[in-house]
Amino acid sequence: KAGVTQTPRYLIKTRGQQVTLSCSPISGHRSVSWYQQTPGQGLQFLFEYFSETQRNKGNFPGRFSGRQFSNSRSEMNVSTLELGDSALYLCASSLVGRVYEQYFGPGTRLTVT
Amino acid sequence: ELKVEQNPLFLSMQEGKNYTIYCNYSTTSDRLYWYRQDPGKSLESLFVLLSNGAVKQEGRLMASLDTKARLSTLHITAAVHDLSATYFCAVEQAGAQKLVFGQGTRLTINP
């Protein structure tokens, strides 16, 4: 079956702009998590959604937000972009409560100039 | 707060040698994961360790988990160049559907 897909794969934005990233989970997976990977901070948990509800949130400012739709697809939004938001954003999906069967998407590489 | 530490962070080794990457974590958990990441790519799941004493092997890689010591190891046997990558361990935070990652170990295997 198809894996986790993320769009776009690459993105270049300017400071102060906002950006929306999309994640389509594996069919049947209703839990979607987002992670940010930067050279300085490593891999950090952003948030997790299940059944259109954010259940967990990492330690990120309010500029980072997300949502999940009824078909389990998820989006994350970053407003007022800063240079430090340049990162690889990874989405992962799983059946609820089964992190051990979590699959990561290919990621979206965001560059903020 | 759950913290995960890997060492070493950088490892350069010769083909044919053995080595071990260590992953320590700070709070109780019995679920630990190892991933591989190639440059510019996403995370590839290597091992899922779900209980104390779990040991899994795939090819030249073997992972183990000691939940009492809060320690996991990833052992590389007779390294080959194709194993060059960055390896991450991640611990599942109980009840949170969330992974806390180590800093990663960048492994370079030289011919």
pLDDT, tens only, A19-69:
999 999 999 999 999 999 999 999 999 999 999 999 999 999 999 999 999
Q: Chain B: nearest CA to A38, how far in angstroms? A: 11
Count residue pairs from A and B with Cβ separation < 8 A. Answer: 54
φ/ψ of B70, rounded to 5, equals 55, 50
Name which of A60, A63, A28 is nearest A47 in CA terms. A60
pLDDT of residue A97: 78
Q: How confident is the model at residue A4 (pLDDT cuts 50, 70, 90)?
A: very high
Query: N- to C-terminal Cα distance for chain B?
Result: 41
pLDDT in tens, B13-49: 999 999 999 999 998 888 999 999 999 899 999 999 9
Beta-carbon count within 10 A of B51 CB = 10
Q: Chain A: nearest CA to B110, how far in angstroms? A: 24
Contact A43 B88 (CB under 8 A): yes
pLDDT in tens, A68-79: 999 999 999 999
